[in-house]
Amino acid sequence: MSRLHCSAFLGAALALISALGCNTPQTTTRRSSLMDYLYPKQQSAPVPNPAGARLKLPLKLGIAFVPGGSSAWRVQGLMAPGQEKQLLDVVKQSFRDKPWVADIKLVPSTYLRSGGGFENMDQVARMYGVDVMALVSVDQIQYTDPRWYSFTYLSIVGAYVLPGDANDTRTLIDAAVYDVTSHTFLLRAPGQSQTKGSSTWAHREVQLREHSAKGLQAAMTDLAKNLDAEVASFKAEIASGERKDVDVVDRQGVSLRQSGGQNFGGSFSWIEALGALLLLGAALKLRRV
């Protein structure tokens, strides 16, 4: 074998080994934790403020993504330019046209610092003039598992694995709403999605980025749907007196409990009551499991 052929063979062998080495299962996790942001030095949430919250309608609401915990990762690094606002707009639409909401502000995540706690939240709330903050956290896991029938094709421009990898993207988005003045937790709503696909090894990163964006959008849409149900449940808990830590009053000072829900976006009909009771029953059932 000539020296030229030996060199070519060695180069191809090294490329094959390199390609096979890359063709292994990989997991990428991106996470922004609400607990790490609000309670960076505590193992769990502290005891709620005994004074509770007194909400005066209509409310001014702020919405923001929380940053990553101890890492330098920030949520905007996960998204394409402009996608952060686009996703927050999905939540904004859930509150739009609600008579108990006066204004909705989309707060850029750059104003929230890692481990900033309620002090940081208060600063942002004062800056935007909001009474209530909806803090949105993201947990996205992308798993790449090469299929058993994949094989490596060496071309003149590099190595390709055919026919492809099984790419799985799972996304969980959680929105927790807090009263700014008392730091009282009001309600939360989750959203989740799963995106699967396959691609050549060379185009794996491109597809994973596409799946990441699609997963975020789908999870945010699911969150918006769940948020409507959670607001109805929250309204029912206050009207029935179950949420003793929260009081809601209108411009005239009339309590939600006194009005039967009329000052919180319309009369509290038997249909709403039945729906709220079903939601509460499901929640209690889940707690027992």
Summarised one tens digit per residue, pLDDT across range 155-193 is 455 555 555 567 888 898 999 999 999 999 999 999 999
The mean pLDDT of 219-239, rounded to a whole number, is 90
In a domain, 209, yes or no: yes
Per-residue confidence at 17, pLDDT binned at 50, 70, 90? very low
What pLDDT does residue 91 have?
A: 85
Q: Which residues contact 64 (CB under 8 A, 6 or more apart)?
A: 88, 106, 107, 108, 109, 111, 112, 124, 133, 134, 135, 136
Q: Which of 175, 35, 56 is nearest to 118 (CA)?
A: 35
In a domain, 12, yes or no: no
Most confident of 1-15, 59-73, 203-217: 203-217
pTM for the whole thing?
A: 0.75
Res 135: pLDDT = 95
DSSP 190: E
- pLDDT given at position 49: 78
Structural domain for 36, as ranges: 25-288
- Given this model, what pLDDT does residue 223 score? 93
- pLDDT at residue 274 in the model: 47
Domain total in the chain: 1
Residues 6 or more apart whose Cβ sits within 8 Å of residue 34: 66, 135, 137, 174, 176
Please name the residues in contact with 234: beta carbons below 8 A apart, sequence gap of 6 or more.
186, 187, 243
62 pLDDT band, cuts 50/70/90, is very high
Q: With a cut of 70, say whether residue 84 has pLDDT above it.
A: yes
Domain contains 63: yes
Question: Cβ contacts of residue 241 below 8 Å, gap of 6+?
Answer: 257
- Asked whether the beta carbons of 224 and 260 are under 8 A apart, the reply is no
Residue 71 within any structural domain of the chain: yes
In a domain, 16, yes or no: no
Backbone angles phi, psi at 274, to 5 degrees: -65, -45
Q: Which residue has the higher pLDDT, 57 or 96?
A: 57
Give how far Cα 17 sits from Cα of 159, 160, 172, 179, 234, Å: 10, 12, 36, 57, 58
Q: Establish if 8 belongs to a structural domain.
A: no
Query: Is residue 197 a part of any domain in this protein?
Result: yes
Rounded Cα distance, 179 and 234, in Å = 14
Q: Which helix (H) or strand (E) holds 16?
A: helix 3-22
Residue 167 included in any domain = yes
